[in-house]
Amino acid sequence: MTSTYRTPATPEPHAVGPAPRLIATDLDGTLLRDDKTVSDRTIAALVAAEEAGVEVFFVTGRPARWMSVVAEHVAGHATAICANGAGVYDLRRNVLLAAYPLAEADALTVVGTLRAAVPGTAFAVERTHGFHYEPGYSAPWAEPDSMVAPVEELLVADPAQPLLKLLAKHPSADPDEFLATARAAAGEHAEFTRSSPSALLEISGVGVSKATTLARCCAERGITAAEVVAIGDMPNDLEMLGWAGTSYAVANAHPDVLAATTLRTAANEDDGVARVIESVLAARA
């Protein structure tokens, strides 16, 4: 999303509570600038957090293969939560640490239901190390080894790789209405969310979200929700923002995210994540 907000270069106010031990941030539209780069100020803030002993987790809808833009900034832990919580990766070793897949049977049910509810919907599948799509699915970012076939074939191909996401795209539907329709029609079979400005739904297994996987990773480290600061901009961040003890919306966030959070930071173009990290570290000092 394009930023529309500017703030003076002062730290963001930080909510009173337990000293934060982990900062969970979305990437696109949040930490990354619109050109998908990481600003110098943000890089410096990430380094400072590492030196202060505050972990920073990248929690994104992106697949692991699209994490090169931030892989060198994951600090000591090198862990990232990808595909809206369906995969946990060690980015330095390019190793899948945990997967919470969508069952193929549920995916097939979702496909049939959405085709009936919203004619013209096309589908793609995201597995742990590959992306495949239907002929009617526009995929300018597809890779040479991507399979192009009806989704029914894609869902039975390469079963050794867990199915992290089913993607549903419509050429003309209103994005928010498309999401609401999908949830009403097939919400008992999968989790539906969106992070794109277009009518593109990201579909995960029941109970899988950024929040559920972040909670698991925090529990493994003995970190409570009250000790987590989360930052996001789109509907796929809502569960994470609701779970964390402290949550911020960047100024360019979706209206639903702005409505669900009480704290604000600057837009992604204005180093909003860096400002939050700086305020956390200042409060700890």
Question: In terms of C-beta distances under 8 Å and separation of at least 24 residues, what long-range contacts does 121-125 make, across chains too?
Answer: 121/168, 121/169, 121/170, 122/168, 122/169, 122/170, 123/151, 123/154, 123/166, 123/167, 123/168, 123/169, 124/151, 124/154, 124/166, 124/167, 124/169, 125/151, 125/154, 125/155, 125/163, 125/165, 125/166, 125/167
- Mean pLDDT, residues 42-48 taken together: 94
Strand partners, 229: 23, 246
- Model pLDDT for residues 110-149, shown as the tens digit of each residue: 999 999 999 999 999 999 888 999 999 988 877 888 999 9
Kindly report the average pLDDT of the chain as a whole number: 91
- Model pLDDT for residues 152-185, shown as the tens digit of each residue: 999 998 888 999 999 999 999 999 999 999 999 9
Strand partners, 99: 87
- Mean pLDDT, residues 47-54 taken together: 93
Q: Contact at 8 Å (CB) between 281 and 19?
A: no
Q: Contact at 8 Å (CB) between 269 and 34?
A: yes
Q: Is the pLDDT of residue 3 over 80?
A: no
What's the token pair of residue 89?
């990766």
The single residue listed with the structure tokens 């979200």 is 209
- Model pLDDT for residues 223-275, shown as the tens digit of each residue: 999 999 999 999 999 999 999 999 999 999 999 999 999 999 999 999 999 99
Helix (H, G, I), strand (E, B) or coil at 281: helix
